[in-house]
Amino acid sequence: MRRPDANADLNAAQAAMADSGIKGMVDVGRPFLDFVISSLADAGVERVCLVIGPEHGVVSHYYREAGKPARVLLDFVIQEDPLGTANAVLAAEHWVGDGSFLVLNSDNYYPARALQALRLAKAPAIAGFRRSVLINEGNVHPDRAARFGALQMDGDGFLERILVGAAAAEKPDTEALASMNCWLFDRTIFGACRRVPKSARDEFELPQAVQLAIDRHEMKLTVVPIDAAVLDLSSKSDVAAVARLLAEIAVRT
C-alpha cells in the first residue's frame, strides 16, 4: 500500500497506516483486522495467531490493550525477515502443534460461512471462490478477478495447480474458482515450506510450496467451492469501498 494511488480517497490516519505497510490496521470504521478476527470467531475458530514483523509493534500493542479480543485466544509470532508467505507459515510451526489449521491473508475479509466451510473440511484443502461472486458482491473488478489464481482441478475435485499471471487471465470464465489464499493445512505443509526455492520476487511463497508438495505426491488438497465475496484490501483505492461494504457488519472480537 505504500505506492502512490491517485484513485485513493483516504483521511490522514488511513493514509499514514497505509504508508506504514500494515494493511490490517487501516481504519475502515475500526481496524480492518477486527473484522477478520470477528469473522474467524463467528466461524468457530477459538485460537488465532498473527504473524507479524518485528517492526509491527502497533499490532501487538493494540490487541493486547484496547483491542484485546474476548472471543478468541490471540497470540503473536514474529517473522524476523520479510521472506514471503511460506516463511511466515514456518514461523508459526511451533504455535500450530499437531492439529490442522487455517492460513489466510490479513488484508482480505473472508465471510464466516466461507471460513466455517473450510474449517470443517478434511485437511489439507483450499477455498475456491467463484469469480462471479467476487465481482458482483465484493469489491473486485473483473480485470482484477482475472488475475487471481485460477484453480485447476482433477476429476475428483483435488487441486492440480493454481494458474497465475497470463495463464489465469486467459481463463475468462467468471464461474471459475479463484484462490484468495485461504487454506486449511496439516503439518505436511511445513516440509514443503522448508524445501521451496525462492521465487522470482526473491521470496519463499506459499502457493509454490503447495505446488511442490502436489508435484511430489506429498499432498492432495480438496477444493472447497465457496459462493461468497471476499473483500480485498490490496491497495489504497480499495479502502473506501471496503469500508462501505463492512459498514453493516457487526464486529465482536
Q: 223-248: per-residue pLDDT in tens?
A: 999 999 999 998 888 899 999 999 98
| Bridge partners, residue 47, by sequence | 73
| Bridge partners, residue 214, by sequence | none
Domain count of the fold of the chain:
1
Look-up of cell digits 467463484: 130
Residue 252 lies in a domain: no
State the residue range of the domain holding 217: 12-246
The pLDDT tens digits for 200-228 are: 999 999 999 999 999 999 999 999 999 99
Per DSSP, helices labelled H in 106-238 are 112-119, 131-137, 142-145, 166-169, 188-195, 206-215
Residue 2 lies in a domain: no
The pLDDT tens digits for 29-66 are: 999 999 999 999 999 999 999 999 999 899 999 999 98
Per-residue b/e over 219-248, b at no fewer than 16 CB within 10 Å? bebbbbebebbbbbbebbebbbbbbebbee
pLDDT band at 165 (very low <50, low <70, confident <90, very high): low
Residue 5 lies in a domain: no
Residue 95 lies in a domain: yes
Residue 113 lies in a domain: yes
Distance CA 230, CA 145 (A): 11
**CATH (domain of 220):** 3.90.550.10
From the list 130, 74, 131, 132, the residue with the least C-alpha distance to 106 is 74
Residue 251 lies in a domain: no
For the chain, the residue count is 253
Residue 1 lies in a domain: no
Distance CA 74, CA 94 (A): 15
pLDDT of residue 18: 52
Residue 242 lies in a domain: yes
Distance CA 236, CA 227 (A): 26
The pLDDT tens digits for 79-108 are: 999 999 999 999 999 999 899 999 999 999
